[in-house]
Structure 1
Amino acid sequence: MDAFYLNQIFIDPSRNQIFHGDECLLIEPKAMTLLCVFAQQPNKVLSQEVLFEAVWQNRIFSPSSLQRLITLLRKALKDDSKAAEFIHTHAKRGYSLEVQPAFVQHLKSDKANKLKKQTENTALKAPFYVLPKPLWIIALSLLLIASFSVFFLSNTNSNVRKLNKPVAVTHTSYNESMPTLSLNAQQLLFLRETESRYELVLKAPEKEGEYLLTTQNEAFLFAWLNNSTVALTKNEPSSGNHHLKLLTLADNQVMSERIIKVPSHITSFRTLQTGTENSLYMLATDTQLANPRSVLIVFEEKTTQFKILSVLPEDTYVQDFAFANNALYFTATKSHSIQQLIKYDLETANLKIIKSDLASIYHVAWDNHRNQLILSDTLKAGVHSISAHLLNKTNPHSEIKLDPFDFGSSSPLSQIQVTENSIFGTTFQQDIDISSNNATLTHVNSKYEDYQASVSLSGEHLAFVSHKHGRPMLFVKSNEGISTIFDNPHQHDFISRAIWSSQDNEFAFAVGGLVYLYDLALKKLTRIESDEHIIRIDYWQTNPNQLIATTKQLNTAAIIKLETKKVWPFTLQGTVLYKDEDQQIIWQNDTIENLAKLKTWQPEQGEIVHAFSVKGLILAHVRNANESNLFILKTNLEVQESTVLPTNVQFISSAFFEPTKDNLVYFYSHWRNQDADIVKSDNYQN
């Protein structure tokens, strides 16, 4: 919708911004949607039902949800509900906008004339430099060439790669995810998470009806074996055994079930992917290996055998993978930070990295109709492709670029599936709040995504990342309120967690490959230049005064000497948790290791979600299928204490010890108001 004015207030729907002169207010997207609905029908009473349908589109919401948005709009417009100028309440009827909006497109000619006059006046007042005549001719020629090029390209590039804005396929208030199309693309499976169970639901993509196939008490994986058989994972908590359950379908219901026992050494299924008909590829953990590792497995229904094809590289976490006739393509994270695209050749059994510098975390799907790999950004709205021609290049130094689509959505699209004309996926919408185990502390609850909380050693300051302005930005919360530290003008996708100095007056973080230092007393932000691309800061070493960081180069860390601002790379596999003159403790996979003392620690079960150090102690957040725990380790890696964590703790990011009570206070992010929907984007074009 075009920008518009309400009296002297300027409304910019594309940026969710409301301007009162130079003052800019940001409102949440649903509030802006509601304001645009009013602006399209001014001076007309709109019922609650009409507004519900326009804003929430077939979802069930209470009247309080609408009233909350009305309150937000009145506050943003500085409108008094008792003597409303803009939004009027009509008892038992609805609401109306009583101001006629002036849309910008109708004001363009007036604004153009004003701008012309301003430009002429500015040109008369501004100093200028006289170029020699030959240079003027060259400059004019270049300008004409550039203008012609822009005009020519804009008028000849009619075959733009495009995806329409996704439309919801599911509409309930529960979480629906993992859309999985049958081989003929005639049926769609998805997982629905209710308050007490997980349901496997079947529906035709183009029809309204849906059919419940089976339920389990815990989440499970599933995939099509063929157009009438579905495989899903099933665990037996009592015995610890893993099974594949094969469901034979007919007339939208389960006609028969078959249980296939999985070998006992294959555990922790991560992903199932349909291969050729009646075969499945899957990721799991092989406990028979000396060091249990993630492995790629193929299952053949005919033989009911599980065959290990490849052991995946150590310290590599696969995000997603896609089957593509003669190959499998993986997106993976190396060393907790480096994003890669990996190819497994099914004919040669070779596993190789074909792109080591993906800019984000992507879900992938293979497009058989166009012979290309589709990548969907899970951190921001964006869909890309890579042709099979580029993927099959043998030159290891050739650059593989992602070709973007014109994608009309503001929400990321994950878990994608591709048909000839459409892309299916999942959209997740949620707020993330920052909380702690100390109820007396003020939590960060901005109704936006707030995460990466990092508390100073005294507990007086909290640095955190928030998306409240539509891009990640770094803030600090203290007794004086919340201050913006880094506004991310180049809109980088990721800002690393802040690492505090032992003096409690400075912290360091990385963004866009660069390192920044912030001094709280001076309120000064300093950038450190480096040839190394820094992913994140891992540790602030006091003596000597230096930072330990992870770089973009595989298995490489860096020391940043703060006195000289020099950066020195060195080889290291893992993340530095603690370092002094005598010892160095690192975290790699699910192992914490003291390199100097040759000691290691691993949780008896579960995975290490996050690990960091506080006052010479190592804190490890460990999650398994049933619960989360926080372990406090001494530097000799003996467990000093362990605590069972509340169920809403998703990721413990930092902690401090209260100086008077010596109690540990930890901060974590937790998800609120999450809703996931299956969506479909049509008009899939080249």
Structure 2
Amino acid sequence: MARYRIGKFAIDESRCLISSQDYEQIVEPKVMDVLHTLYLNKGEVVSQEVIFAKVWPNATYNPSSVQRCIALLRKALQEDAKNPQFIITHPKRGYSLEKVTEGQAKTLKVQFLPLLVVLLISFVVIAWQLTPQQKVNTHFNQLMPLTSSELNEANLSLSHSGKYLAFVRGDKESQHIWIKELLTEREVRLTEDAASYYALGWSTSDNAIAFVKTVDQTQSLNTLSIDLSRFLPLEQTTVSVFNDSVLTSHHIDWGADKRLYYIEKEKQNNDTRLVSLDLNTKQKTRLVTAAQQDWLLVSALSKDGTKIALGMEAGQNKYRIDVLDLTNRKLQTITIIEDGIQGLSWHPNNQALLISQRNQLIHLDLGGELQLIPFNNYQIIRDAQYTSNAEAILMELVNVDVDIVSQTRAKPDTLTKLVDTSSIDFLPVFSPDSTQFVFESHRFGLKQLFLYDNGKQTRIFANPDNHELFGIVWSQDARQVYTASKDTLFKIDLSSGTYESIPHGNHSFYLREMYHNENAILVSYRAEDGQTFHPAKFDLTSLTLTPFTGSGKRLSCYGMDLDEQDQIYFSNSNEVFRVNSHGDIETVWQAANNDIIGISVSNQQLAVTMEYADKVSFQRIDLATAKTERWQLAQPKQHMLINSAHDLSEFLYLTEPIRTRKLVKLQ
């Protein structure tokens, strides 16, 4: 591994260390690999495609991986992306690492210094004249609460003037809409009826708010006019009632042409689309319809009303940011990122976007350049937005608490809480003999794996790079546990507490079951419809991924398992199928209704789990004789069945998420 200097910084690739006399920063191995690639070609432009091929060989090209590493490198080198000293962005071409010319600088003769000074002054003047008046600030360090209420607060929306904040206060069906004058701290409640409110949006003149109200599962779109001089609500009007669709936007955008912009989802087929609604004619226009794996999540109207930014899930843990030009209806992709989008808003200069992503904020300019906005945070960020002068960021912080509960067949009325923390504890997976289980926990903002054994919890995988994890499987001898990130498999040894990283060049997949007779794992990956999954075999020796096909097309499934002969069983919502040794698909069992939520198979016994409104039904079918055993358990209210013991003697549930929401300002 090389050692070299970049400016005042010493680079130690073997230790992934960037340091100076008074500074040290450890970076991720992939980040150092990107720097190594640039260093080998210093002074030359290297395209994102070339960087990706060098650092992630055999993987599907994803520019956001390169952009993220560049952003982290600039942070480690303490340079501003808008005025970089070392890593230079060449729009549409790539990046370059500038050559260090300290040796040449020392040979300059004294007689050239006056000329150098004149040229330097001229350059500074020209640069100052060309610098935009509004410089983008990405350095914030103080986090402050926006209100003093102990109640949950969410769905913030800042007025166009920047003087008022609208938000929802309360829990579920007992919520109200409030507004707050930020300068005086004065607050007033706008709504009379308690209900579920969300998706707030101010009119361009700040004299009305659009919002969604839900009562008895009926969703309506409303407007409420406001007299800000007297700080009083005026007239409320119902604009539309949703029957065949539901509004899913985080907020409603209100254009100057009296049009409302929002995302809605069809109830029948779950298709999502961006629409506009004319407040005068009540006519609705479809602007963008998501196709195949795409799923519209968030939208944001630019401050000048000419563009709409869209954030959508694109499958395989990829999330795409597009911008729609409202004048010509052209859609342009800006970037692709990973690990979700929790909010999207525009910078006041209309030239950049602010992305809320789990526990971090990302600044994205329209050229596709990503820059992290660092601050200490371990909670989920939603709907962050700049203030009108861009000197602060307002956002919602959410803490989610999910626990793991046990129910036994012998004592179905007794629930035992096994894992109880103030964070998300979920996805428990029983060992082959069902005496212990491994689960994922998001304590302190880190995605880690813990082993639960006889009342004791032990961390087995610290996940130091905080990767998004995709499933857990046990080895057949219960000595190892496997989990996966998007491009790496992690083999964890339970006795030593160590793990092995196994990079692979395939697209991301979800771990399902360990093969019995091969060194392989049954996995699944997202189908093109964005809803179902395809099964595949991941070979641990060759690191190859083999999808299974039947009758000329890929199989789609929800639940899946392997028998002792490694035959694949899979189900949709009402049928169970088997892939036989010839690769043909056989129907094994069929339910009367669409209720199947899980299957397992062992010793020629097929166990099918079906969920109803207030109970869980189990059927065990002998595949040789077709003899069937049936029983059912009362499902604990507001609990989700997530895993069961191999003999169906114990069942693990997740409690209903408890969310604590607060509004804060980062400045």
In the alignment, what sits opposite 1:276? 255
Residue 179 of structure 1 contacts residue 417 of structure 1 at CA under 8 Å; is this kept in 2?
Answer: no
Q: d(CA) in 1 for partners of 2:246 and 2:342?
A: 25
Match of 2:462 among 483, 487, 494: 487
Q: d(CA) in 1 for partners of 2:610 and 2:369?
A: 38
In the alignment, what sits opposite 2:393? 423
Match of 1:585 among 567, 570, 574: 570
Residue identity matched to 2:141: N
Which residues of 2 match residues 135-214 of structure 1 at below 5 A? 161-194=138-171, 197-214=174-191
Residue identity matched to 1:243: S
Which residues of 2 match residues 375-386 of structure 1 at below 5 A? 375-378=355-358, 380=359, 382-386=360-364
Which residues of 2 match residues 66-145 of structure 1 at below 5 A? none
Q: d(CA) in 1 for partners of 2:247 and 2:457?
A: 42
Deviations 1:167-215 (A, max 9, x none): 1012222110111112322221111124860111111122222111114
Structure 1 residue 246 corresponds to structure 2 residue 226 = no
In the alignment, what sits opposite 2:310? 330
TM-score (norm 2): 0.64
Structure 1 residue 444 corresponds to structure 2 residue 419 = yes
1:560 to partner: Cα distance: 1.4
CA RMSD of aligned residues (A): 4.4
Structure 1 residue 537 corresponds to structure 2 residue 511 = yes
Q: d(CA) in 1 for partners of 2:420 and 2:242?
A: 46
Deviations 1:334-353 (A, max 9, x none): 44733333444434445565
Pair 520,252 (structure 1): closer, same or farther in 2 beyond 3 Å:
same
1:618 to partner: Cα distance: 5.5
Match of 1:298 among 273, 276, 286: 276
Structure 1 residue 496 corresponds to structure 2 residue 470 = yes
SS in 2 for 1:534: coil
Residue identity matched to 1:253: L
Deviations 1:563-607 (A, max 9, x none): x353225486866631557665367xx9988594689999979xx
Structure 1 residue 654 corresponds to structure 2 residue 643 = yes
SS in 1 for 2:446: coil
In the alignment, what sits opposite 2:47? none
Deviations 1:255-311 (A, max 9, x none): 112222336333354444214132222222235x7x442222211212122222232
Q: d(CA) in 1 for partners of 2:369 and 2:527?
A: 19
Match of 1:433 among 381, 388, 403: 403
Structure 1 residue 223 corresponds to structure 2 residue 201 = yes
In the alignment, what sits opposite 1:312? 290
Pair 485,592 (structure 1): closer, same or farther in 2 beyond 3 Å:
farther
Residue 165 of structure 1 contacts residue 408 of structure 1 at CA under 8 Å; is this kept in 2?
Answer: no
Residue 363 of structure 1 contacts residue 376 of structure 1 at CA under 8 Å; is this kept in 2?
Answer: yes
Residue identity matched to 1:267: V
Aligned pairs, number: 501
1:522 to partner: Cα distance: 7.5
In the alignment, what sits opposite 2:265? 285
1:442 to partner: Cα distance: 5.8
Residue identity matched to 2:395: G
Moved more, 611-620 or 315-324: 611-620
1:621 to partner: Cα distance: 7.3
In the alignment, what sits opposite 2:453? 478
1:470 to partner: Cα distance: 5.5
Match of 2:653 among 655, 663, 667: 667
Residue 260 of structure 2 contacts residue 277 of structure 2 at CA under 8 Å; is this kept in 1?
Answer: yes
Pair 302,174 (structure 1): closer, same or farther in 2 beyond 3 Å:
same
SS in 1 for 2:418: coil
1:487 to partner: Cα distance: 2.0
Structure 1 residue 454 corresponds to structure 2 residue 422 = no
Residue identity matched to 1:479: N
Residue identity matched to 2:220: H
1:445 to partner: Cα distance: 2.3
Q: d(CA) in 1 for partners of 2:324 and 2:513?
A: 35
Residue 272 of structure 1 contacts residue 281 of structure 1 at CA under 8 Å; is this kept in 2?
Answer: no
Structure 1 residue 677 corresponds to structure 2 residue 651 = no
Percent identity over the alignment? Answer: 15
Q: d(CA) in 2 for partners of 1:203 and 1:498?
A: 46
Q: d(CA) in 2 for partners of 1:479 and 1:508?
A: 21
Q: d(CA) in 2 for partners of 1:328 and 1:631?
A: 47
Pair 206,328 (structure 1): closer, same or farther in 2 beyond 3 Å:
same
Pair 505,164 (structure 1): closer, same or farther in 2 beyond 3 Å:
closer
Q: d(CA) in 2 for partners of 1:639 and 1:229?
A: 61
In the alignment, what sits opposite 1:260? 239
Which stretches in structure 2 are left out of the alignment for 5+ residues?
1-98, 107-134, 409-413, 549-553, 579-584
Q: d(CA) in 2 for partners of 1:542 and 1:639?
A: 26
Which residues of 2 match residues 407-418 of structure 1 at below 5 A? 407=375, 409=377, 411-418=379-386
Pair 648,441 (structure 1): closer, same or farther in 2 beyond 3 Å:
same
Structure 1 residue 547 corresponds to structure 2 residue 521 = yes
Q: d(CA) in 2 for partners of 1:308 and 1:165?
A: 41
Q: d(CA) in 1 for partners of 2:511 and 2:399?
A: 29
Residue identity matched to 1:656: A
Q: d(CA) in 1 for partners of 2:515 and 2:493?
A: 17
SS in 2 for 1:216: coil
In the alignment, what sits opposite 1:81? none
Q: d(CA) in 2 for partners of 1:351 and 1:539?
A: 41
Residue 221 of structure 1 contacts residue 232 of structure 1 at CA under 8 Å; is this kept in 2?
Answer: yes
Pair 172,655 (structure 1): closer, same or farther in 2 beyond 3 Å:
farther
SS in 2 for 1:677: strand
Residue 342 of structure 2 contacts residue 383 of structure 2 at CA under 8 Å; is this kept in 1?
Answer: no
Residue 294 of structure 1 contacts residue 311 of structure 1 at CA under 8 Å; is this kept in 2?
Answer: yes
1:387 to partner: Cα distance: 1.4
Q: d(CA) in 2 for partners of 1:601 and 1:200?
A: 45
1:447 to partner: Cα distance: 4.3
Residue 453 of structure 1 contacts residue 668 of structure 1 at CA under 8 Å; is this kept in 2?
Answer: no
Deviations 1:100-153 (A, max 9, x none): xxxxxxxxxxxxxxxxxxxxxxxxxxxxxxxxxxxxxxxxx99988xx9xxxxx
Which stretches in structure 1 are left out of the alignment for 5+ residues?
1-140, 149-157, 391-399
In the alignment, what sits opposite 1:361? 341
Residue identity matched to 2:348: N
